[in-house]
């Protein structure tokens, strides 16, 4: 059971309702994580603004792979469920792609390097070596793209921490695995 108060949709504070409507329009439902965060409209705005901004960096499958790798590293069951759902339903990732991403890997070598690097950033608390940077650069990432990888990883880390603290009830629809 979730440990923080999750307001009903009718009890969401003013200022948060529009954001939840936008989440519902995008996903087809309002995940419990967003309803919980809506108890503090400023935090909800910060989380959704960061997500919206970061949706403009890297390609979708790379972002999904990073989120899955980071969520697995942090053992965040809620984030694993929602990222599996969004990766499959909206990102066109197969079950194999999702399993590989959770392990910090991918069929595509460039995407694999990003997922591994992101996972390493989280596990090392950002204390990566010159060799770690060389590997991700050798995979084809520029320094601005490396900044994007780190920021997408931190975005996932933020929601991992919120959901791990809350022990958010998983309310994610079943995945229809992409082919």
Tally the domains of the chain: 2
Domain of 47 in residue numbering reads as 12-54
Q: Per-residue pLDDT tens for 106-141?
A: 999 999 999 999 999 999 999 999 999 999 999 999
In a domain, 174, yes or no: no
Co-location of 34 and 81 in the same domain: no
pLDDT at 177: 47
Q: Is 149 in contact with 114 (CB distance < 8 Å)? A: yes
Please state, rounded to an integer, the average pLDDT across all residues of the chain. 94
Q: At what angle do helices 60-73 and 77-89 cross, to 10 degrees?
A: 160
In a domain, 2, yes or no: no
Q: Is 90 in contact with 177 (CB distance < 8 Å)? A: no
pLDDT at 178: 44
């Amino acid at each position: 059971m979730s440990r923080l108060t999750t307001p009903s949709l009718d009890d969401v504070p003013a200022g948060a309702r529009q954001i939840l409507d936008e989440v519902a329009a995008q996903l087809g439902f309002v995940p419990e994580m967003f309803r919980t965060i809506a108890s503090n409209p400023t935090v909800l705005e910060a989380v959704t603004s960061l997500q919206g901004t970061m949706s403009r960096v890297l390609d979708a499958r790379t972002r999904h792979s990073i989120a899955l790798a980071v969520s697995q590293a942090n053992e965040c069951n809620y984030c694993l469920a929602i990222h599996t759902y969004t990766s499959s339903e909206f990102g066109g990732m197969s079950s194999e792609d999702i399993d590989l991403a959770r392990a910090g890997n991918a069929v595509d070598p460039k995407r694999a390097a990003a997922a591994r690097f992101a996972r390493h950033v989280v596990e090392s608390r950002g204390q990566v070596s010159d060799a770690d940077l060389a590997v991700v650069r050798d995979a084809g990432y520029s320094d601005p793209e490396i900044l994007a990888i780190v920021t997408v990883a931190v975005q996932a880390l933020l929601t991992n921490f919120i959901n791990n603290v809350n022990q958010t009830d998983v309310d994610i629809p079943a995945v229809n695995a992409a082919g």
